[in-house]
Chain A
């Protein structure tokens, strides 16, 4: 069964750093594009970042230069390193897989940025 499980969320002060993990099972994270999507409380979906099968990456303008997506093929896990966190980064962060459309999503992990 294809499954994604996120972890690493929590409460963090503005300016802090956090690393999210997305553990995959049932497929290889190196064989398909992997994305992070976030949803602020009561708001819509916002695409955050993607890592392509070749290893190249892309980011939304709101996080470029602060967030870094990566993967560890040996652990079949994708990461999102989030630095210089701001209050408006508060959201549920989902990882998802797909070569365009996102066909499998994790349950999400909550990141709360507050002093």
Chain B
């Protein structure tokens, strides 16, 4: 199963609402997770089962979608959110290509 993530790069300002999309090559129900990765660090789980927020993750992060199209939304971008984000489907575990969110 291929995961196509877009955009690859996103320029935004503090306070912006941003959306990152992943499209699966087939129906994967809700078996999608989203991760945040900062340079030199391991990824951190943000959302699982498409829309469930991991414990301790700020509520400005949300996930939506089912079937083959999924979205990660950050409502009110904070300075700590400038990172790279990955989706992952866990039918067969492949990742999207990543989206780097940088400062406009």
| Pairwise interchain contact A101-B88, C-beta atoms closer than 8 A | yes
Closest Cβ of chain A to B51, distance in Å, is: 12
**B45 proximity list for chain A (CB < 8 A):** 98, 101-103
**B88 proximity list for chain A (CB < 8 A):** 45, 47, 101-102
Closest B residue to A35 by CB, please name it. B93
Known: A45-B86, A105-B42, A105-B43. A100 touches B33 (CB 8 A): yes
On chain B, the number of residues with a Cβ less than 8 Å from chain A's Cβ atoms is 20
Main secondary structure of the interface of B (DSSP, over half): loop
Tell yes or no: B82 within 8 A of A by CB: no
On chain A, the number of residues with a Cβ less than 8 Å from chain B's Cβ atoms is 19
Tell yes or no: B95 within 8 A of A by CB: yes
CA separation between A100 and B97, bound complex, in Å? 19
| Pairwise interchain contact B93-A47, C-beta atoms closer than 8 A | yes
Tell yes or no: B54 within 8 A of A by CB: yes
Given contacts A100-B90, A103-B45, list 15 more A-B pairs with CB under 8 A. A44-B86, A45-B37, A45-B43, A45-B86, A58-B93, A96-B42, A98-B45, A100-B48, A101-B33, A101-B88, A101-B90, A102-B35, A102-B88, A103-B54, A106-B42
Chain A interface (Cβ < 8 Å from any Cβ of B) = 35, 37, 44-47, 50, 58, 94, 96, 98, 100-103, 105-108
Chain B interface (Cβ < 8 Å from any Cβ of A) = 31, 33, 35, 37, 42-45, 48-49, 54, 86, 88, 90, 93-98
